[in-house]
Structure 1
Amino acid sequence: MWDMASVGYSHISVAEPGRIAFLSGQIAAAPGREDAPKDLAGQAKLAVASLAAALKELEASAQDIVMMRVYVVNATREAFQQAMTPIRALLGDAMPSMTTIGVQALYTPEILVEIEMVVRLP
Structure 2
Amino acid sequence: MDSLQAPGFGIAFILGLILVLGNVMAITSIRLAMQGRITPDTMAGIRTNATRATPETWDAAHTAAWPWALVLNGLGAIGSIAVMVTGNSVGPFLAAAGFTVVCTIAGALAQIIVGHRAATRVLKR
What TM-score results when the alignment is normalised by the length of structure 1? 0.28
Look at both structures and tell me which one has the larger radius of gyration over its CA atoms.
Answer: 2
Structure 1 or 2: more strand by fraction: 1
Structure 1 or 2: more helix by fraction: 2
What TM-score results when the alignment is normalised by the length of structure 2? 0.28
